[in-house]
């Protein structure tokens, strides 16, 4: 079993049955899944996207200044991080939010040493505000944090049960990969994560496991070694 993981969650998935914002039922389902593996002794770092509230890139396409748009997206990830931390606390789980830009008392300012200390004390550590810089996605932010905290693996929880030859929601003939290399992901142009994130993981030998987080119980299955998603590796 893994000792330490980085879990990347999609902001869009937090919408659940809603078209915008945070679905309280989905939020608690996520919190319960995370608590279940924390109870096994797994150290968990989390990065959440903000697409359920605001996406900087789409904002820029609608006329927003790109830097300000990305900063708005960072704040959206903080809102989601606070929501998840509250849900975890309601289950009795120790949790801390660290932010990549200073915003005490909302969250402590992120640094690696602090994150590791908290993880070693049994806290779930939610790392918000991306990298703190514009032009970087939360995919890249999660790759960076996974490498920094020396995670054994980065789990990408999505609404799809792995990586396919094409978008399975649009192409019914798409087939699923059980395993795939970083180079194949790049060569085939598969939309697993953005290119910067994939290259960072490749250069630092950080395996990525893509699975369906929206199916309750899947996070525990992945931790226990069940093959329900797709592994990206060298």
Q: What is the pLDDT of residues 151-185, one digit of tens each?
A: 999 999 998 999 999 888 889 899 999 999 999 99
- CA contacts within 13 A on the Cβ side of 214: 14
The pTM for the full model equals 0.95
Give me the pLDDT at residue 81, please. 98
Q: Is residue 18's pLDDT more than 70? A: yes
Q: What is the percent of the chain where pLDDT is above 70?
A: 98
The DSSP bridge pattern shows strands 43-48 and 4-9 to be parallel
Residues 102-109, mean pLDDT to the nearest whole number: 97
**126: closest CA among 225, 27, 20, 229?**
27
Considering the chain, what is the average pLDDT of its residues? 94
Give me the pLDDT at residue 61, please. 72
pLDDT tens profile 85-97: 999 999 999 999 9
Give me the pLDDT at residue 19, please. 84
Q: Is residue 38's pLDDT more than 90? A: yes
pLDDT category at 57 given cuts 50, 70, 90 is low
Q: Is residue 59's pLDDT more than 70? A: no
Give me the pLDDT at residue 227, please. 94
Q: Locate the domains of the chain by residue range.
A: 4-233
**44: closest CA among 78, 8, 6?**
6
**151: closest CA among 34, 4, 8, 2?**
4
Range 4-233: architecture per CATH: 3-Layer(aba) Sandwich (3.40)
How far apart are alpha carbons 82 and 179 in whole angstroms? 34
CA angle, residues 142, 157, 47, in degrees to nearest 5: 30
Strand ranges of the sheet holding 208-212, from the earlier edge strand across to the other edge: 108-109, 95-99, 124-128, 43-48, 4-9, 153-158, 208-212, 230-233, 179-181
Q: Which two tokens stand for residue 68?
A: 């300000």
In three-state secondary structure terms, 82 is helix
């Amino acid at each position: 079993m893994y000792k330490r993981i980085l879990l990347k969650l999609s902001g869009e998935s937090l919408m659940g049955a809603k078209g915008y914002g945070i679905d309280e039922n989905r939020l608690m389902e996520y919190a319960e899944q995370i608590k279940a593996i924390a109870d096994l002794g797994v150290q968990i770092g989390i990065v959440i996207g903000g697409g359920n509230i605001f996406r900087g890139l789409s904002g820029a396409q609608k006329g927003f200044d790109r830097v300000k748009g990305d900063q708005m997206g960072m704040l959206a990830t903080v809102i989601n991080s606070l929501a998840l931390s509250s849900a975890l606390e309601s289950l009795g789980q120790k949790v801390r939010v660290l932010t990549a830009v200073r915003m005490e008392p909302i969250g402590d300012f992120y640094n690696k040493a602090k994150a590791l200390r908290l993880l070693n004390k049994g806290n779930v550590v939610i790392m918000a505000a991306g990298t703190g810089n514009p032009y970087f996605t939360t995919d890249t932010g999660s790759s960076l944090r996974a490498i920094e905290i020396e995670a054994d693996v980065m789990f990408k929880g999505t609404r799809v049960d792995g990586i396919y030859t094409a978008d399975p929601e649009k192409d019914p003939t798409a087939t699923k990969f059980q395993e795939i290399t970083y180079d194949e992901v790049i060569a085939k142009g598969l939309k697993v994560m953005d290119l910067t994130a994939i290259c960072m993981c490749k250069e630092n030998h950080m395996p990525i496991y893509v699975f369906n987080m929206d199916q309750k119980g899947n996070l525990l299955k992945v931790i226990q070694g069940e093959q329900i998603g797709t592994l990206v590796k060298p």
